[in-house]
Amino acid sequence: MINDIFLIDDDRLVNFLNQEIIKDAYPEKKVRSFENASEAIEILKQIVVKPSESLPQLILLDINMPVMDGWEFLDAFIQLPQNIIDNCKVVMHTSSIDPRDIEKAKSFSAVTDFITKPLNVQSLSKIFGSY
């Protein structure tokens, strides 16, 4: 079951809108947003050391971001302990419709889906239904 969600997108407005969509449809979910993917990785590393923090079961990840893009995030994510990777699924949530991005996303076993922006209740239902 998905209780905790990380939104990782460098666009503050996208994060805000996604958070509102999730809260409206699923008010019981805990949502944390990050405009910098490296901050999200640091939080995940802290959870490894301090398990009292709640692990997100779902990460909605943008591809094109400054500082650390989605691919760099995934490279760092797969270096985390296996129990984190196994219990935290990543969905690429991007404006890209480039088939190369879709194929590259499929090369990461942690990536369970690839959806295009904007987020909506139907895509959320699909994501939550697959868990």
Kindly report the three-state secondary structure assignment for every residue of 45-88: HHHHHCCCCCCCCEEEECCCCCCCCHHHHHHHHCCCCHHHHHHC
Terminal Cα distance for the chain, rounded: 6
Q: 35-79: per-residue pLDDT in tens?
A: 999 999 999 999 888 766 789 999 999 999 999 999 999 999 999
User: Both tokens of residue 55?
Assistant: 């692990």
pLDDT at 14: 97
Q: Residues 115, 26, 66, CA angle at the centre, nearest 5°? A: 40
Q: Does domain 4-129 have CATH number 3.40.50.2300?
A: yes
- Entry pTM: 0.94
Res. 23 pLDDT band, cuts 50 70 90: very high
Q: What is the mean pLDDT of the chain?
A: 93
| Domain boundaries along the sequence of the chain | 4-129
